[in-house]
Structure 1
Amino acid sequence: MKIKNIIFDFGGVLMDWDPRYFFKDYFKDDEKMEYFLENIAQDEWNIEQDRGRSLSEGTEIQVKKFPEWGKEIRAFYDNWTVMLKSDIPQNVEILRKLKNTDYHLFGLTNWSAETFPYALENYDFFQIFDGKIVVSGTEKLIKPDPKIWHVLLERYDIQASESVFIDDNSKNIEAAKSLGFNTIHVLPDTDLKQELVHLGVEF
Protein backbone atom coordinates (compact mmCIF):
# COMPACT_ATOMS: atom_id res chain seq x y z
CA MET A 1 0.00 0.00 0.00
CA LYS A 2 1.40 3.40 -0.99
CA ILE A 3 1.94 5.86 1.87
CA LYS A 4 -0.17 9.02 1.52
CA ASN A 5 -0.28 10.38 5.11
CA ILE A 6 2.41 11.05 7.71
CA ILE A 7 1.26 11.59 11.30
CA PHE A 8 3.56 13.09 13.92
CA ASP A 9 3.43 12.90 17.68
CA PHE A 10 5.04 16.07 19.07
CA GLY A 11 6.71 15.55 22.47
CA GLY A 12 9.88 13.50 22.02
CA VAL A 13 9.53 13.63 18.22
CA LEU A 14 9.42 17.34 17.29
CA MET A 15 9.60 18.99 20.74
CA ASP A 16 12.03 18.47 23.61
CA TRP A 17 9.88 18.67 26.77
CA ASP A 18 11.07 17.49 30.16
CA PRO A 19 10.12 18.81 33.64
CA ARG A 20 13.75 18.32 34.66
CA TYR A 21 14.70 21.40 32.62
CA PHE A 22 12.96 23.46 35.31
CA PHE A 23 13.24 21.32 38.44
CA LYS A 24 16.99 20.65 38.15
CA ASP A 25 17.70 24.27 39.09
CA TYR A 26 14.72 24.44 41.43
CA PHE A 27 15.79 21.52 43.64
CA LYS A 28 19.56 21.58 43.04
CA ASP A 29 19.34 17.99 44.30
CA ASP A 30 18.84 15.28 41.67
CA GLU A 31 17.69 12.65 44.14
CA LYS A 32 14.98 14.90 45.56
CA MET A 33 13.93 15.98 42.05
CA GLU A 34 13.57 12.37 40.87
CA TYR A 35 11.57 11.48 43.98
CA PHE A 36 9.22 14.38 43.29
CA LEU A 37 8.76 13.50 39.60
CA GLU A 38 8.27 9.78 40.28
CA ASN A 39 5.99 10.03 43.31
CA ILE A 40 4.33 13.48 43.47
CA ALA A 41 4.15 15.11 40.01
CA GLN A 42 4.29 11.78 38.22
CA ASP A 43 3.35 11.03 34.62
CA GLU A 44 -0.02 9.54 35.62
CA TRP A 45 -1.01 12.88 37.17
CA ASN A 46 0.20 15.02 34.26
CA ILE A 47 -1.58 12.73 31.78
CA GLU A 48 -4.96 13.65 33.29
CA GLN A 49 -4.33 17.28 32.32
CA ASP A 50 -3.39 16.03 28.82
CA ARG A 51 -6.72 14.15 28.84
CA GLY A 52 -8.61 17.39 29.41
CA ARG A 53 -8.65 18.09 33.14
CA SER A 54 -7.86 21.74 33.79
CA LEU A 55 -4.40 22.66 35.06
CA SER A 56 -5.90 24.41 38.11
CA GLU A 57 -8.04 21.41 39.04
CA GLY A 58 -5.15 18.99 38.56
CA THR A 59 -2.90 21.19 40.68
CA GLU A 60 -5.40 21.50 43.55
CA ILE A 61 -6.08 17.73 43.58
CA GLN A 62 -2.38 17.02 43.97
CA VAL A 63 -1.82 19.76 46.56
CA LYS A 64 -4.59 18.23 48.70
CA LYS A 65 -2.94 14.82 48.39
CA PHE A 66 0.56 16.09 49.15
CA PRO A 67 0.23 19.39 51.05
CA GLU A 68 3.88 19.29 52.12
CA TRP A 69 4.81 19.52 48.41
CA GLY A 70 2.29 22.28 47.64
CA LYS A 71 4.85 24.89 46.58
CA GLU A 72 6.59 22.46 44.21
CA ILE A 73 3.32 21.18 42.73
CA ARG A 74 2.15 24.74 42.02
CA ALA A 75 5.52 25.47 40.42
CA PHE A 76 4.95 22.69 37.86
CA TYR A 77 2.48 24.42 35.52
CA ASP A 78 3.60 27.92 36.53
CA ASN A 79 6.96 27.08 34.92
CA TRP A 80 5.77 24.75 32.18
CA THR A 81 7.29 26.88 29.41
CA VAL A 82 10.78 26.34 30.87
CA MET A 83 10.19 22.58 30.54
CA LEU A 84 9.53 23.02 26.81
CA LYS A 85 13.18 23.52 26.06
CA SER A 86 13.27 23.58 22.26
CA ASP A 87 12.33 21.81 19.09
CA ILE A 88 14.25 18.69 17.98
CA PRO A 89 16.07 20.23 14.97
CA GLN A 90 16.89 17.12 12.93
CA ASN A 91 13.28 15.90 13.00
CA VAL A 92 11.79 19.36 12.36
CA GLU A 93 14.07 19.56 9.32
CA ILE A 94 12.48 16.31 8.00
CA LEU A 95 9.02 17.83 8.56
CA ARG A 96 10.02 20.94 6.61
CA LYS A 97 11.26 18.77 3.72
CA LEU A 98 7.98 16.83 3.70
CA LYS A 99 6.08 20.12 3.37
CA ASN A 100 7.27 20.33 -0.24
CA THR A 101 5.96 16.85 -1.16
CA ASP A 102 2.51 15.44 -1.93
CA TYR A 103 2.16 13.72 1.45
CA HIS A 104 -0.59 14.86 3.81
CA LEU A 105 0.84 15.85 7.20
CA PHE A 106 -1.01 15.51 10.51
CA GLY A 107 -0.35 15.87 14.24
CA LEU A 108 -1.68 13.55 16.95
CA THR A 109 -0.52 14.63 20.38
CA ASN A 110 -1.11 14.02 24.07
CA TRP A 111 -1.04 17.66 25.20
CA SER A 112 -3.09 19.86 27.50
CA ALA A 113 -5.49 22.14 25.65
CA GLU A 114 -4.30 24.97 27.91
CA THR A 115 -0.57 24.68 27.20
CA PHE A 116 -0.61 23.65 23.53
CA PRO A 117 -1.42 27.20 22.26
CA TYR A 118 1.96 28.37 23.66
CA ALA A 119 3.79 25.86 21.46
CA LEU A 120 1.67 26.84 18.44
CA GLU A 121 2.52 30.50 18.91
CA ASN A 122 6.23 30.05 19.56
CA TYR A 123 7.30 27.39 17.05
CA ASP A 124 6.54 28.23 13.44
CA PHE A 125 6.81 24.67 12.12
CA PHE A 126 3.38 23.85 13.60
CA GLN A 127 1.93 25.96 10.77
CA ILE A 128 3.06 23.25 8.33
CA PHE A 129 0.20 21.08 9.59
CA ASP A 130 -2.32 23.69 8.46
CA GLY A 131 -4.51 23.06 11.52
CA LYS A 132 -4.69 19.28 10.94
CA ILE A 133 -3.76 18.46 14.53
CA VAL A 134 -5.68 16.28 17.00
CA VAL A 135 -4.93 17.36 20.61
CA SER A 136 -5.84 14.98 23.43
CA GLY A 137 -6.82 17.74 25.85
CA THR A 138 -9.33 19.14 23.36
CA GLU A 139 -10.79 15.74 22.45
CA LYS A 140 -10.86 14.44 26.07
CA LEU A 141 -9.21 11.29 24.72
CA ILE A 142 -5.61 10.22 25.07
CA LYS A 143 -3.17 7.85 23.43
CA PRO A 144 -2.97 4.85 23.62
CA ASP A 145 -6.79 4.78 23.62
CA PRO A 146 -7.66 3.69 20.02
CA LYS A 147 -10.57 6.16 20.01
CA ILE A 148 -8.22 9.12 19.49
CA TRP A 149 -6.81 7.56 16.29
CA HIS A 150 -10.38 7.03 15.08
CA VAL A 151 -11.01 10.77 15.59
CA LEU A 152 -8.06 11.49 13.28
CA LEU A 153 -9.08 8.89 10.65
CA GLU A 154 -12.70 10.00 10.51
CA ARG A 155 -12.13 13.76 10.73
CA TYR A 156 -9.70 13.81 7.82
CA ASP A 157 -11.10 10.80 5.92
CA ILE A 158 -7.82 8.89 5.76
CA GLN A 159 -6.91 5.18 5.92
CA ALA A 160 -4.56 3.71 8.55
CA SER A 161 -2.98 1.40 5.95
CA GLU A 162 -1.97 4.42 3.84
CA SER A 163 -0.48 6.25 6.85
CA VAL A 164 2.75 6.34 8.86
CA PHE A 165 2.41 7.13 12.56
CA ILE A 166 5.53 8.45 14.33
CA ASP A 167 5.79 8.44 18.16
CA ASP A 168 8.39 8.05 20.90
CA ASN A 169 6.12 6.01 23.20
CA SER A 170 6.13 2.22 22.68
CA LYS A 171 2.54 1.79 23.98
CA ASN A 172 1.30 4.32 21.44
CA ILE A 173 3.23 2.56 18.67
CA GLU A 174 1.68 -0.80 19.61
CA ALA A 175 -1.82 0.70 19.66
CA ALA A 176 -1.30 2.29 16.23
CA LYS A 177 0.03 -0.99 14.80
CA SER A 178 -3.05 -2.81 16.05
CA LEU A 179 -5.19 -0.33 14.10
CA GLY A 180 -3.29 -1.01 10.88
CA PHE A 181 -0.90 1.96 10.79
CA ASN A 182 2.66 1.75 9.54
CA THR A 183 4.76 3.00 12.47
CA ILE A 184 8.11 4.51 13.38
CA HIS A 185 9.17 4.32 17.02
CA VAL A 186 11.45 7.32 17.59
CA LEU A 187 14.35 6.77 19.99
CA PRO A 188 17.22 9.21 20.66
CA ASP A 189 19.37 7.63 17.93
CA THR A 190 16.60 7.18 15.32
CA ASP A 191 17.37 8.50 11.83
CA LEU A 192 13.82 9.59 10.97
CA LYS A 193 14.52 10.22 7.28
CA GLN A 194 16.06 6.78 6.87
CA GLU A 195 13.09 5.13 8.61
CA LEU A 196 10.62 6.98 6.36
CA VAL A 197 12.55 6.05 3.22
CA HIS A 198 12.52 2.43 4.40
CA LEU A 199 8.70 2.61 4.37
CA GLY A 200 8.71 3.94 0.81
CA VAL A 201 8.40 7.68 1.55
CA GLU A 202 10.08 9.76 -1.15
CA PHE A 203 11.65 13.16 -0.53
Structure 2
Amino acid sequence: MATEVSDVVFDFCGVLIDWQLRSCLLGHYPQQLIDEIAAPNDPYGFFHYEDRMDAGEDLADVIDDYRQRYGDDMAQVFAYYIKHYDDSLTRIVPGMEELLEDLLAAGIGCWGLTNWAHETFHFAFEKFPQLEDLLGGTIVSGAEKMHKPDAHIYQLAMSRYDLDPATTAFFDDTPKNVSGAEAVGMQAFLFSDAAQARRDLESLGVRL
Protein backbone atom coordinates (compact mmCIF):
# COMPACT_ATOMS: atom_id res chain seq x y z
CA MET A 1 0.00 0.00 0.00
CA ALA A 2 1.40 3.38 -1.03
CA THR A 3 2.49 5.70 1.77
CA GLU A 4 2.85 9.46 1.56
CA VAL A 5 6.53 10.40 1.54
CA SER A 6 7.53 13.94 2.44
CA ASP A 7 11.25 13.37 3.13
CA VAL A 8 14.06 10.89 2.53
CA VAL A 9 17.05 10.41 4.83
CA PHE A 10 20.26 8.91 3.45
CA ASP A 11 23.30 7.31 5.00
CA PHE A 12 26.58 8.47 3.44
CA CYS A 13 29.29 5.83 2.97
CA GLY A 14 27.96 3.01 0.82
CA VAL A 15 24.85 4.99 -0.09
CA LEU A 16 25.76 8.50 -1.23
CA ILE A 17 29.55 8.14 -1.33
CA ASP A 18 31.61 5.18 -2.49
CA TRP A 19 34.02 4.67 0.44
CA GLN A 20 36.99 2.41 -0.24
CA LEU A 21 39.52 2.01 2.57
CA ARG A 22 41.95 0.36 0.17
CA SER A 23 42.10 3.47 -2.02
CA CYS A 24 43.51 5.47 0.89
CA LEU A 25 46.30 3.00 1.68
CA LEU A 26 47.15 1.67 -1.79
CA GLY A 27 50.65 2.59 -2.87
CA HIS A 28 51.67 3.61 0.63
CA TYR A 29 51.70 0.24 2.44
CA PRO A 30 52.24 -3.41 1.44
CA GLN A 31 49.33 -5.03 -0.38
CA GLN A 32 49.15 -7.92 2.11
CA LEU A 33 48.77 -5.50 5.01
CA ILE A 34 46.05 -3.57 3.17
CA ASP A 35 44.20 -6.82 2.44
CA GLU A 36 44.34 -7.77 6.12
CA ILE A 37 43.12 -4.36 7.28
CA ALA A 38 40.25 -4.38 4.77
CA ALA A 39 39.15 -7.93 5.63
CA PRO A 40 35.87 -8.44 7.53
CA ASN A 41 37.83 -9.94 10.45
CA ASP A 42 40.35 -7.04 10.37
CA PRO A 43 43.07 -8.11 12.86
CA TYR A 44 44.30 -4.53 13.30
CA GLY A 45 41.18 -2.98 14.73
CA PHE A 46 40.70 -0.24 12.13
CA PHE A 47 36.93 -0.66 12.08
CA HIS A 48 36.63 -0.84 15.86
CA TYR A 49 38.65 2.31 16.47
CA GLU A 50 37.02 4.16 13.61
CA ASP A 51 33.67 3.22 15.14
CA ARG A 52 34.81 4.79 18.40
CA MET A 53 35.56 7.98 16.50
CA ASP A 54 32.16 7.76 14.80
CA ALA A 55 30.66 7.72 18.29
CA GLY A 56 32.37 10.98 19.18
CA GLU A 57 35.91 10.20 20.38
CA ASP A 58 38.80 12.23 18.95
CA LEU A 59 41.80 10.65 17.27
CA ALA A 60 43.97 12.00 20.10
CA ASP A 61 41.81 10.07 22.57
CA VAL A 62 41.96 6.72 20.78
CA ILE A 63 45.44 6.66 19.26
CA ASP A 64 47.23 5.89 22.54
CA ASP A 65 44.91 2.94 23.15
CA TYR A 66 45.49 1.83 19.58
CA ARG A 67 49.27 2.10 19.96
CA GLN A 68 49.27 0.09 23.18
CA ARG A 69 47.37 -2.73 21.54
CA TYR A 70 48.85 -2.82 18.03
CA GLY A 71 52.21 -1.08 18.33
CA ASP A 72 53.80 2.08 16.95
CA ASP A 73 53.97 0.96 13.32
CA MET A 74 50.27 0.16 13.05
CA ALA A 75 49.35 3.30 14.99
CA GLN A 76 51.17 5.28 12.31
CA VAL A 77 49.16 3.48 9.60
CA PHE A 78 45.88 4.24 11.38
CA ALA A 79 46.86 7.89 11.87
CA TYR A 80 47.80 8.12 8.18
CA TYR A 81 44.40 6.71 7.22
CA ILE A 82 42.54 9.29 9.30
CA LYS A 83 44.71 12.18 8.03
CA HIS A 84 44.20 11.16 4.39
CA TYR A 85 40.60 9.99 4.75
CA ASP A 86 39.57 11.92 1.64
CA ASP A 87 41.51 9.43 -0.48
CA SER A 88 39.02 6.74 0.58
CA LEU A 89 36.10 8.75 -0.80
CA THR A 90 36.35 7.70 -4.41
CA ARG A 91 33.13 9.03 -6.00
CA ILE A 92 29.45 9.70 -5.50
CA VAL A 93 27.61 6.38 -5.77
CA PRO A 94 26.36 6.13 -9.37
CA GLY A 95 22.86 7.48 -9.82
CA MET A 96 22.55 9.00 -6.37
CA GLU A 97 23.16 12.63 -7.31
CA GLU A 98 20.43 12.30 -9.92
CA LEU A 99 18.08 10.67 -7.41
CA LEU A 100 18.53 13.54 -4.97
CA GLU A 101 17.87 16.04 -7.77
CA ASP A 102 14.71 14.21 -8.81
CA LEU A 103 13.42 14.00 -5.24
CA LEU A 104 13.93 17.72 -4.70
CA ALA A 105 12.24 18.49 -8.02
CA ALA A 106 9.25 16.45 -6.79
CA GLY A 107 9.09 18.53 -3.60
CA ILE A 108 10.53 15.82 -1.34
CA GLY A 109 13.15 16.85 1.23
CA CYS A 110 16.54 15.12 1.29
CA TRP A 111 18.65 14.77 4.43
CA GLY A 112 21.78 13.00 5.65
CA LEU A 113 22.29 10.80 8.72
CA THR A 114 25.75 9.29 8.95
CA ASN A 115 28.01 7.45 11.35
CA TRP A 116 31.14 9.48 10.71
CA ALA A 117 33.92 10.98 12.83
CA HIS A 118 33.62 14.73 13.24
CA GLU A 119 37.33 15.10 12.43
CA THR A 120 36.97 13.61 8.95
CA PHE A 121 33.43 14.43 7.85
CA HIS A 122 34.48 17.76 6.36
CA PHE A 123 36.18 15.80 3.57
CA ALA A 124 32.77 14.65 2.30
CA PHE A 125 31.48 18.10 1.41
CA GLU A 126 34.90 19.43 0.42
CA LYS A 127 35.24 16.66 -2.13
CA PHE A 128 31.59 16.53 -3.19
CA PRO A 129 30.10 19.99 -2.55
CA GLN A 130 27.05 19.16 -4.64
CA LEU A 131 25.90 16.81 -1.88
CA GLU A 132 25.88 19.65 0.64
CA ASP A 133 23.81 21.71 -1.81
CA LEU A 134 21.30 18.89 -2.36
CA LEU A 135 20.83 17.93 1.29
CA GLY A 136 18.77 20.11 3.61
CA GLY A 137 21.03 19.15 6.50
CA THR A 138 23.10 16.24 7.83
CA ILE A 139 23.35 14.64 11.26
CA VAL A 140 26.94 13.50 11.90
CA SER A 141 27.28 10.95 14.68
CA GLY A 142 30.75 12.04 15.77
CA ALA A 143 29.55 15.60 16.31
CA GLU A 144 26.48 14.45 18.25
CA LYS A 145 28.30 11.75 20.25
CA MET A 146 25.66 9.17 19.44
CA HIS A 147 25.38 6.86 16.48
CA LYS A 148 23.15 4.46 14.59
CA PRO A 149 21.43 2.21 15.43
CA ASP A 150 20.80 4.08 18.72
CA ALA A 151 17.22 5.38 18.58
CA HIS A 152 18.29 8.78 19.89
CA ILE A 153 20.15 9.76 16.72
CA TYR A 154 17.15 9.04 14.50
CA GLN A 155 14.94 10.97 16.89
CA LEU A 156 17.43 13.84 16.80
CA ALA A 157 17.14 13.97 13.01
CA MET A 158 13.35 13.97 13.26
CA SER A 159 13.39 16.80 15.78
CA ARG A 160 16.09 18.96 14.22
CA TYR A 161 14.62 18.85 10.72
CA ASP A 162 10.96 18.65 11.73
CA LEU A 163 10.42 15.29 10.05
CA ASP A 164 7.48 12.96 10.57
CA PRO A 165 8.82 9.40 10.76
CA ALA A 166 5.61 8.05 9.24
CA THR A 167 6.25 10.01 6.03
CA THR A 168 10.04 9.72 6.01
CA ALA A 169 11.93 7.06 4.06
CA PHE A 170 15.42 5.98 5.10
CA PHE A 171 18.25 4.26 3.23
CA ASP A 172 21.33 2.62 4.76
CA ASP A 173 23.65 -0.16 3.61
CA THR A 174 23.92 -1.70 7.11
CA PRO A 175 21.05 -3.97 8.22
CA LYS A 176 21.18 -3.01 11.91
CA ASN A 177 20.88 0.67 11.00
CA VAL A 178 17.85 -0.09 8.84
CA SER A 179 16.29 -1.93 11.79
CA GLY A 180 17.05 1.05 14.03
CA ALA A 181 15.20 3.38 11.68
CA GLU A 182 12.23 1.01 11.48
CA ALA A 183 12.11 0.90 15.29
CA VAL A 184 11.40 4.65 15.42
CA GLY A 185 8.70 4.44 12.76
CA MET A 186 10.55 5.30 9.55
CA GLN A 187 10.03 3.50 6.24
CA ALA A 188 13.53 1.99 6.02
CA PHE A 189 15.29 0.14 3.23
CA LEU A 190 18.60 -1.69 2.88
CA PHE A 191 20.47 0.12 0.12
CA SER A 192 22.08 -1.75 -2.76
CA ASP A 193 22.10 0.75 -5.64
CA ALA A 194 20.30 3.80 -6.97
CA ALA A 195 17.98 1.80 -9.23
CA GLN A 196 16.75 -0.32 -6.30
CA ALA A 197 16.31 2.81 -4.19
CA ARG A 198 14.03 4.22 -6.87
CA ARG A 199 12.01 1.00 -6.87
CA ASP A 200 11.78 1.09 -3.08
CA LEU A 201 10.51 4.67 -3.22
CA GLU A 202 8.02 3.70 -5.91
CA SER A 203 6.67 1.03 -3.53
CA LEU A 204 5.78 3.94 -1.20
CA GLY A 205 4.03 5.83 -3.98
CA VAL A 206 6.89 8.12 -5.01
CA ARG A 207 6.80 8.75 -8.75
CA LEU A 208 9.88 10.48 -10.13
TM-score (norm 2): 0.88
Matches within 5 A, 1:152-171: 152-171=157-176
User: Does structure 1 residue 182 correspond to structure 2 residue 187?
Assistant: yes
Give me the CA root mean square deviation.
Answer: 1.8
Count of paired positions:
201
Distance 1:151 1:189, change over 3 A: closer
Partner residue in 2 for 1:121: 126
Contact 1:13 1:186 (8 Å CA) reproduced: yes
User: Does structure 1 residue 83 correspond to structure 2 residue 85?
Assistant: no
**Structure 2 residue corresponding to 1:44, chosen from 48, 61, 72:** 48
Q: SS at 2:169's partner residue?
A: strand
Contact 1:96 1:125 (8 Å CA) reproduced: no
Distance 1:171 1:156, change over 3 A: same
C-alpha distance in structure 2 between counterparts of 1:147 and 1:159, whole Å: 15
Structure 1: gaps (5+ residues): none
Pairwise CA distance, 1:164: 0.2
Letter in 2 for 1:146: A
Map Cα deviations across residues 51-104 of structure 1 (whole Å, 9 max, x no partner): 111123223321222114233222221221111111112122111211212112
C-alpha distance in structure 2 between counterparts of 1:4 and 1:188, whole Å: 21
C-alpha distance in structure 1 between counterparts of 2:193 and 2:162, whole Å: 32
Q: SS at 1:89's partner residue?
A: coil
Contact 2:25 2:34 (8 Å CA) reproduced: yes
Q: SS at 1:10's partner residue?
A: coil
Contact 1:63 1:73 (8 Å CA) reproduced: no
Letter in 2 for 1:128: L
Deviates more, 1:51-60 or 1:178-187: 51-60
Partner residue in 1 for 2:27: 25
C-alpha distance in structure 2 between counterparts of 1:180 and 1:122, whole Å: 33
C-alpha distance in structure 2 between counterparts of 1:121 and 1:42, whole Å: 24
Runs of 4+ displaced beyond 6 Å: none
C-alpha distance in structure 2 between counterparts of 1:139 and 1:112, whole Å: 10
User: Does structure 1 residue 200 correspond to structure 2 residue 202?
Assistant: no
Contact 1:91 1:192 (8 Å CA) reproduced: no
Pairwise CA distance, 1:190: 5.4
C-alpha distance in structure 2 between counterparts of 1:188 and 1:100, whole Å: 20
Q: SS at 1:158's partner residue?
A: coil
Map Cα deviations across residues 5-40 of structure 1 (whole Å, 9 max, x no partner): 11111110010112111224333424x323334021
Pairwise CA distance, 1:189: 8.1
Structure 2: gaps (5+ residues): none
Map Cα deviations across residues 122-147 of structure 1 (whole Å, 9 max, x no partner): 212221113x2111011100001111
C-alpha distance in structure 2 between counterparts of 1:36 and 1:125, whole Å: 29
Deviates more, 1:12-21 or 1:188-197: 188-197
Percent identity between matched residues is 25
